[in-house]
Every structure is written in structure tokens, then in C-alpha cells.
Structure 1
């Protein structure tokens, strides 16, 4: 009996060791490959949206990055829009259609490493590029306090960072997360997500430092980023207005009702 028990213990120990090794390899592989998973950059040329001009702006590292641009009508503010991780300026133009139709200027900077842009995407890189886009607008005579920052999904990270560091007209977050590690930990509870993720995009920690008016829009049927993240962000910034859109999913930014909510709110807070 003792011999059988000893053999069983060896088998179990070997199984546990094998599972632990497999788990470690999986975690290590995900850690190494996370940037390609977080930033699935569409490659190649993206057609310029109708009504926009292609411009370039200089960013950190000597990179010249492309953006789509349409100037504002006289007296109108300008929107600086940051799209989701799998999108492009084409999606940004769709998401900003209602505001563009009312005369808002719109700048759609493309991320480094996306489309034909040089460089590699990353959190700090996105922040530097966002500041560079704001500086480009400043060079066109558009002050930061006449700029509305809009961030969709992962774009909420760059928009929140800029709003915490620059005095802007307003901040709109669409389908945002509280932080990327929190989202990963929720989606993959078997992973050490809060340790694994290098790009943090900790919106909840920064939103309280934003002095501009804040609108948080989220769909109640969003399964990619649950609406609980929007509620947490609203708690982090008590002056923020939270709008939960019934039955809307993660494509909320492209829906007319979401764009109407943005336009109506901006009419109240930005003159």
C-alpha cells in the first residue's frame, strides 16, 4: 500500500509540475506578445475619409505621423478624436459625423504603427503623440481650451491623460475602461492580469484631476467592456455626467443616438 501511495504521489507531483510549467509558458508567451494583442494595428493605407485633408504632425522620436483633418466653421470648437485599438481614421470619421455636420473641426490622428505610420504603439507613445497632435492644433491657431477630447475604447486612455495634463474645453469618453489591467483581470481571471499588463491606461486614477467638463457614455449591452467600468469612472469624477445607453454594445460610438447625446451635452458646456 505504501508503495502504491508513493507512486501516486510521484504521478501527482509530475502532473502538477507539468501544469505549472505549461501555465508559466503560457503566461510568459502572453507577456511577450501582449503589445500585438493590445494593439492589433491595421496595416496598409487607409483611404482618407470624405471631407478631410491628410496632414502630418511631428511627434517624439522624430516621427512624422499622419492625421485626417477638417477645419472648424467660424467660432466652432475642434474635436481631437482617439479611436479604438482595432479601428482607423475611417471609423473616427463615422463616430464624429454628427459633430462635423454641425461645424466642429475634427482631427483624427492615426496612431504610430497603424496604417502607414512609422513607430511602435504603446501607452507612453500614445500620450506623447496626443500632446503632439494638440501642439499641431495650437500651431493652426486653435488653443487647447477650444479643443474637445474624445476617446473611444482604448482611446479613452490618451484622451484622459491629455485632459489631466492640459486645459481643454471638454472630455468625452465612449465605452471606456477604468484601467486596462482591471479589464484584463476581469476577462481572464486565471491570469495575473494586474501584473502582466505593461500598458496601464489607468483612467480611474487620473479622471479626478480633470478640470474640464466630462461626459461618460457607455452601452448597457457592452460585453467587451462592461458598463461597470463607466460607473467606476463616474465615481472617480463626481462632476462627470454618466449616460448609459440601453441595449447598445461596444459599437456605441457609431450610433446616431450616442452622437446626438454628445452634441446636446457639448451645446450645454462648450460655448
Structure 2
């Protein structure tokens, strides 16, 4: 148990360290953008502007493993729809300096939002998207930016300690975990339209967690619990089309 407590962040975060060029990942339209955080780290994300100024920009906060390059296929779906995309970089991932933590990822996310807004993209034209671990980041940003087009959660959990492995003694994770990403407490504070997508066969984050967040969210949340999908294959079961349709619905006059 002591080892689990000491190495807990090594168990949570599994960053890919290779820095890949967007063109090599199939998204040559995207450029690498270094963004400085308030605590002095330079984290690199990938960015492509929208097709025209009337289209929104989607900021994607990815899950606990790999790098932004592993989300290129998601970026492609939204660029094809005419949206801008910023794949937000994290400290410790993709060759970025530093080590990931809850507060560190929040700082990276705030820097990404600030970078985008400083370049003339208003909050009211931004969609915040969280994937797995990144749903905790997206929910936090959603509580800080009330005028977003939408917040989208893919495979969202209630609280990180509740995903501790079964062999961990009951209550131990709750007692020692430093990073909690408490979506249960925060999701009701998200004022933007909210989309929840979750695979009913998810073996990593139980679908019951997605259902609970739906119940705790503000009125008007839209949820899709996809019968055949697991944790990592929602895009094989129409997640991109669901997201594009939801975003376009929010933009209707």
C-alpha cells in the first residue's frame, strides 16, 4: 500500500514522450503551438483554425496515455466539419517539460484557453472536449468559462479515487490519492450545454459513472450510452457524428 501511495502518479499518468510532427500523424493542416503556463512551463499543442470565422473551435483535453498525436483522427473529424481544433498539450507528455498532476493539467488547460482567446477566438465560439482522464480537466474548465458553445465528455468518471483497482483496500485510495478530478462535485456547475458519451461495454470507466454525471448535470444535458462501445472505441460507433450534430444544434439561431 505504501508503494501504491508513493508511485500513484506513475499509475495514473502514462505519457508518450515522442514529439511527432502533425503531418506524420495525418493532419498536415495543424501546426505545433508552444504555450507558456502561468508556472513557467512551455507545453506544445496542435492547432488548426476553423474554416471560417463563424465556425467554433474545439479544444480537446486527452486521456492519460499517449500524446496529442494519438488524437489526430479525432481532430480530423472536426476539421472536416469545418471546426477549428486545438489539441491541448500537457506537461510531461509529447516531449513537454515537467510532470503531470491534477493542478498541473489544470494550469496547462487554462494556458491553452488563454492562448486561444488571445488570438481572437471568443469564449462563445469555443467547445471544450474531455476524453477519459481529460474529462476532469474539461469539467474544471467548464466551471470557469460559463459562455462556451458546449462541453463534451467522452467516457467520464465521477471521481478518480473511485477508479482505483479492486485490489486496493476499501477507503485507501480515498485517503491517499493526491489527484481526484471530482467531476461529481463540479458537473452541476457547468453552465454550457453538455454532451455525455459513454460505451456500455466500458471496462475502464463503468457506464454507471456516466449515468450518474448525467443525473447531476444541469437541465438540458444530452447523453448517449452506446450499447456496442467500450472505452477506447467510441469513434468506431459514431461519436464524431454525435458530437458534430450536438455542436451544430447549439449554433442554431
**Range into which the TM-score falls when normalised by the shorter chain:** over 0.9
* SS of alignment partner, residue 96 of structure 1: helix
**What whole-Å deviation, never above 9, does each CA across 1:222-250 have from its counterpart, x for those lacking one?**
00111001001001114211110111011
- Larger Rg over CA atoms: 1
CA distance, structure 1, for counterparts of residue 246 and residue 113 of structure 2: 22
Q: How many residues get paired?
A: 244
TM-score (norm 1): 0.86
**Correspondences of 1:167-246 after superposition (within 5 Å):** 167=146, 168-184=148-164, 187-188=166-167, 190-191=169-170, 192-239=172-219, 240-246=221-227
Which ranges of 4 or more aligned residues in structure 1 deviate by more than 6 Å? none
Of stretches 165-174 and 189-198 in structure 1, the one that deviates more from structure 2 is: 189-198
1:204-263 deviation line (CA, Å, top 9, x unaligned): 100101110000000000001110010010011142111101110111343251111111
CA distance in 2 between partners of 1:257 and 1:190 (Å): 38
Give the equivalent residue in structure 1 for 2:235: 254
Task: Work out whether residues 96 and 259 of structure 1, in 8 Å CA contact, stay in contact via their aligned partners in 2.
Answer: no
Unaligned runs of 5+ in 1: 1-26
- Which residue matches 1:148? 127
Larger proportion of helix: 1
Structure-2 residue corresponding to 1:69: 47
Cα deviation for residue 189 of structure 1 reads: 5.0
- Structure 2 gap ranges (5+): none
Match of 2:4 among 30, 43, 64: 30
Tell me, yes or no, if structure 1 residue 47 matches structure 2 residue 47. Answer: no
User: Does 1:265 find its partner at 2:239?
Assistant: no
1:106 Cα offset (Å): 0.2
**Which residue of structure 2 aligns with residue 79 of structure 1?**
58
How big is the alpha-carbon RMSD for the aligned residues of Structure 1 and Structure 2?
1.4
